[in-house]
């Protein structure tokens, strides 16, 4: 076929010894779970961009309130409802940072000049004259805190419940499944709202209310995984070798579910952010003094007609955070879910 004219010499027909073990050499370096996952996640550009944005958001959530010369809860009645104005950007009229405000009838007002205010409020101020830049980042910090703590609690309860239910099976499992089934039958919304009505307003009650409902999904997924894993040979082998039950659970079964657990936790974070904002919106959120993305959106919504920036900026922040979390969770699911592996 290829070069037919090639001279075939006799010596080419001498036997060679073939080392058959060579062909069974493993060519690819073996990767551990995290390296392998990272290789997969890295292919998903949307997830990588989202991760970068998320890192920036988290950084700003801590640095932001310090960057602003104003305290997030410092009221200043004479500086109320000022539109955003940023040094250097104020002369670029198409950017929304020129310190002007368009009224409903289309006239443009200059509150800074009109009220003789020299200060620059980067994101403007609210109706009590508080600096929105500081409040937004402070609010992001609180919202993230609530969401992350709630998600971690979900994970802790859900994994424990699911693992116990799945591993022990039998009557324990039966009872635990019935409990889950009844809980699944009640809409989250109702439980959260009722819990918030009963508990005093604050960050911890919101976390508690969110965790009370959030773990059920995790528990179901973990149980299904445990049921699958505990029948597999490596677990049977461990049991045959006399490993103790907790050791089997924590050393053999749970590490094999990291992927599923992480994916689930990543999805419950944006869910918690949503519910926090939702509660603020129906008047069950944090007390007015505190800032969270939810209270900011809600306050902004009330003054939307006159001062749209008060609504739009927190709306963008909460949307961005949610989108970023969902994108990362999607990327992780595609990368970690063994079902989708090639």
In contact, 108 and 102? CB cutoff 8 Å: yes
Q: Does 188 bind other proteins (CB under 8 A)?
A: yes
Q: Does 29 bind other proteins (CB under 8 A)?
A: no
Q: Does 311 bind other proteins (CB under 8 A)?
A: yes
Please list the residues that pair with 125 across neighbouring strands: 131
Instruction: Tell which residue, 326, 342, 303, has the closest CA to residue 82.
Output: 303
Q: Does 47 bind other proteins (CB under 8 A)?
A: no
Site for other proteins (CB under 8 A): which residue of 5, 7, 27, 30? 27
Site for other proteins (CB under 8 A): which residue of 5, 7, 14, 88? 14
Q: Does 171 bind other proteins (CB under 8 A)?
A: no
CB of 182 to other proteins, least distance (A): 5
CA dist 248 and 47 (Å) reads 34
Chain CA centroid to CA 3, Å: 60
Chain CA centroid to CA 134, Å: 22
CA dist 141 and 147 (Å) reads 10
CB of 319 to other proteins, least distance (A): 4
Q: Does 312 bind other proteins (CB under 8 A)?
A: yes
CB of 255 to other proteins, least distance (A): 27
Distances (CA, A) of 134 to 274, 278, 283, 300, 316: 21, 22, 23, 15, 16
Q: Does 105 bind other proteins (CB under 8 A)?
A: no
CA dist 72 and 9 (Å) reads 88
Distances (CA, A) of 266 to 34, 36, 218, 261: 16, 19, 11, 9
- To 10 degrees, the CA torsion angle through 180, 185, 188, 189? -160
Q: Does 5 bind other proteins (CB under 8 A)?
A: no
Count CB-CB contacts under 10 A for residue 245: 10
Part of the chain binding other proteins (CB under 8 A), chosen from 83-91, 148-156, 164-172, 320-328:
320-328
Identity of the residue, 172 or 306, whose beta carbon is nearer to other proteins in the bound complex: 306
Q: Does 34 bind other proteins (CB under 8 A)?
A: no
Distances (CA, A) of 121 to 128, 174, 293: 13, 59, 19
Number of residues forming the site for other proteins (CB under 8 A): 58
Identity of the residue, 89 or 193, whose beta carbon is nearer to other proteins in the bound complex: 193
Q: Going residue by residue from 195 to 224, which x/- string records binding to other proteins, judged by CB under 8 A?
A: x-xx-x------------------------
In contact, 215 and 157? CB cutoff 8 Å: yes
Q: Does 278 bind other proteins (CB under 8 A)?
A: yes
Q: Does 107 bind other proteins (CB under 8 A)?
A: no
Binding positions for other proteins, rule: CB under 8 A: 1-2, 4, 6, 8, 10-16, 18, 20, 22-24, 27, 43, 104, 181-182, 185-190, 193-195, 197-198, 200, 270, 274, 277-278, 281-284, 297, 301, 304-305, 308, 311-312, 315, 318-319, 322-323, 325-327, 330
């Amino acid at each position: 076929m290829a070069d037919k004219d090639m001279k075939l010499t006799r010596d080419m027909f001498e036997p060679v010894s073939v080392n058959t073990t060579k062909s069974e050499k493993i060519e690819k370096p073996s990767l551990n779970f995290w390296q392998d996952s990272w290789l997969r996640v890295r292919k998903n550009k949307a997830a990588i961009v989202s991760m970068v944005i998320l890192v920036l958001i988290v950084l700003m959530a801590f640095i932001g309130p310090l960057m602003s010369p104003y305290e997030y809860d410092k009221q200043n009645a004479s500086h109320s409802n000022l539109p955003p104005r940023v040094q250097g950007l104020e002369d670029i009229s198409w950017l929304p940072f020129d310190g002007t405000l368009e009224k409903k009838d289309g006239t443009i007002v200059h509150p800074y000049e009109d009220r003789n205010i020299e200060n620059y409020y980067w994101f403007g101020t609210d109706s009590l004259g508080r600096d929105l830049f500081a409040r937004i980042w402070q609010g992001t910090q609180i919202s993230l805190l609530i969401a992350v703590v709630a998600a971690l609690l979900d994970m802790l309860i859900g994994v424990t419940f699911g693992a116990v239910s799945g591993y022990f099976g039998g009557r324990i499992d039966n009872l635990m499944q019935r409990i889950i089934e009844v809980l699944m039958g009640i809409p989250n919304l109702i439980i959260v709202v009722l819990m918030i009505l009963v508990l005093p307003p604050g960050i911890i009650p919101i976390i508690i209310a969110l965790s009370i409902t959030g773990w059920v999904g995790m528990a179901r997924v973990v149980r299904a995984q445990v049921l699958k894993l505990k029948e597999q040979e490596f677990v049977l082998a461990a049991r045959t070798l006399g490993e103790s039950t907790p050791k089997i659970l924590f050393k053999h079964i749970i590490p094999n579910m990291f992927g599923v657990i992480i994916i689930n936790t990543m999805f419950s974070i944006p869910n918690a952010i949503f519910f926090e904002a939702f509660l603020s919106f129906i008047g069950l959120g944090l007390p007015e003094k505190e800032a969270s993305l939810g209270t900011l959106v809600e306050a902004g919504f009330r003054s939307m007609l006159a001062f749209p920036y008060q609504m739009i900026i927190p709306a963008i922040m909460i949307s961005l955070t949610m989108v970023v979390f969902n994108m990362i969770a999607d990327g992780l699911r595609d990368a970690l879910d063994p079902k989708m592996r090639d």
